[in-house]
Amino acid sequence: MKLTRRTVVATALASPLILRTARAANDLRASIKVDTQNTRGAIDRKLYGNFIEHLGRCIDGGVFQEGSRLSNAAGYRRDVLEAVRGLDVSLLRWPGGNFSSNYHWLDGIGPRDDRPPRLEMAWGTVESNRFGTHEFLDYAEELKTEPYICANLGTGTWTEAQQWVEYCNSAEDTAVTRMRRKNGRKDPWKVTYWGLGNEMDGPWQMGHRSAEDYGKFALEAAKLMRWTDPDVKLIAAGSSNYSAGVDWSLWNRTVVEHLQNYIDYLAIHLYVGNPNDDFGEFLASSRLMDDKIETTAKVIAGVLAGRTDGRKVHIAFDEYNVWYRARGDKQRGRRILEERYNLEDALVVATLLNSLVNHADVVKIANMAQLVNVIAPIFTNDEGLFLQTIYYPLQLFARNAHGNSLKLEVDVPGYNTKQWHDVPYLDVSGAIDGNTLVLNVVNRHKAEGIDATISLADKTFAGTLGVDEVNGPDVKAANDFGKTVVRVQSRTARAQGKTLEHRFPAHSFTQLKAQLA
């Protein structure tokens, strides 16, 4: 890979300011300048959400496995619960995904043995309905995570969506809430986050509509849902169809135009992969996420520009991940999407998380898709589980990258790929929470460590420095049952004064956590 040299590059919108100075082509030194007053806005905890869908073994055999010696009385896998707790999941999306577009929630309440099995067309299976609204919301309570329900705006009706909100949130005495009480839940759960369908721009979606038709249909659902509970926050289905020739931004604009008075978020999705086995190209994938966010933010701002009421619509990046190997895999005739992750995938996930933090002013929700077995950080069999490589960057971000997102000044050499120009070898985001500074750094270089000088403009390092590093013997290294070769290695160091020298090893993700004074 050839090093690039540029004098000044400043990225658009909310990305970190990146300054590069010309120097010898083989000089891999970097500098990261931190001014704790230079922030772009609060990092919403809901950036560290996850997603469970009725798909393959995500719920059935992952989250929930009745009769397993590893499950508790409610049917939840105890080992999975513990692994999920390690991710500090802030927001859990359910029941899909594509599944949600033909899911009729009334099928999933009442005594489990009486619930009707239904043909499931999104993933080609039979849905038992043994895991339904109560099982999901009780699971979220058990995890102390915020639930996010995606309503069926594919084959579902306005009334069905409205009554789901009523069932979950109303304290009134109605026929619908009597059903809830009869099913064992006296008080409403008060679910705040509701999706107005999933990927409705995709021809693969059951009930797919044009942007106009979706905008009109979703508006009527939104009104009824909001009038049932004024506290709900509504998330419209934004673009996910990035096929050649599709103007995905036009979908977003049309949807926001129709729904601007009712929605709080517009959802967008992105999956990336390495089909040509090109490490440099793959590691630059976060550029795609930057682009989706920045383009969508501009579209939203454009639609809302004429308003004087300060109305805001944020981005919900409610599906993102690496996903390209297990696209068509099947087990006993049903699609299972059991992607196995290696170190390079974990590094890409860390860059995607950097992109989310570097756009924290406009992105306020994000959900890694998904949580268990299906394109997931946690992988089970009937005997136990192991943590996939992508578990570790998500865990480090969710636990530590809080407070305000920092605009950093990063001076680092870059490289060119077939698709991208001047991709910085160090991909960086920063967070400041009181006196705690967190820097998230991916070294995209496959072979070389990079020495960096980290300097503070307005503070000093106050002693202890936590260093958490995700790395492994090579970029294809992967974990498995009984084998953990990619994990977090943690150590502490000392940091004092205004500057700190740190070497970021080849193909690594490092999170530095420093107390400042």
List the catalytic residues: 199, 319
Residue with smaller CB distance to ligand AHR, 94 or 279: 94
**In the bound complex, which residue of the shown chain has the CB atom lying closest to ligand AHR?**
97
Token pair belonging to 275: 């089909």
Beta carbon of residue 507, minimum distance to ligand AHR (angstroms, whole number)? 27
Residue with smaller CB distance to ligand AHR, 51 or 139: 51
Cβ atoms 44, 29 nearer than 8 A: no
Contacts of 305 (CB under 8 A, 6+ apart): none
Cβ atoms 193, 151 nearer than 8 A: no
Between CA 267 and CA 156 the distance in angstroms is: 19
Contacts of 213 (CB under 8 A, 6+ apart): none
Residue with smaller CB distance to ligand AHR, 168 or 267: 267
Residue with smaller CB distance to ligand AHR, 166 or 199: 199
Task: Sort strands 314-322 and 265-272 into parallel, antiparallel or unpaired.
Answer: parallel
Beta carbon of residue 447, minimum distance to ligand AHR (angstroms, whole number)? 33
Between CA 215 and CA 40 the distance in angstroms is: 31
What percentage of the chain's residues is helix, strand, coil (to nearest 5)?
25, 30, 45
Beta carbon of residue 54, minimum distance to ligand AHR (angstroms, whole number)? 9
Cβ atoms 371, 50 nearer than 8 A: yes
Contacts of 201 (CB under 8 A, 6+ apart): 208, 211, 214, 237, 238, 239, 240, 241, 246, 248, 251
Q: Find the angle CA(356)-CA(359)-CA(362) to the nearest 5 degrees.
A: 110
Residue with smaller CB distance to ligand AHR, 369 or 478: 369
264 φ, ψ (degrees, to nearest 5): -105, -20
Listing DSSP states for 159-199 in one string gives: HHHHHHHHHHH--S--HHHHHHHHTT--S-----EEEE-S-
Residues that bind ligand AHR (CB under 6 A): 53, 96-98, 198-199, 319, 369-370
Task: Kindly give the interhelix angle for 286-304 and 343-357, rounded to the nearest 10 degrees.
Answer: 20
Mapped onto helix, strand or coil, the DSSP state of residue 142 is helix
| Sheet hosting strand 30-34, strand order edge to edge | 17-18, 409-411, 30-34, 450-456, 499-504
Task: Sort strands 193-196 and 146-151 into parallel, antiparallel or unpaired.
Answer: parallel
Beta carbon of residue 130, minimum distance to ligand AHR (angstroms, whole number)? 20
Between CA 61 and CA 162 the distance in angstroms is: 31
Beta carbon of residue 198, minimum distance to ligand AHR (angstroms, whole number)? 5
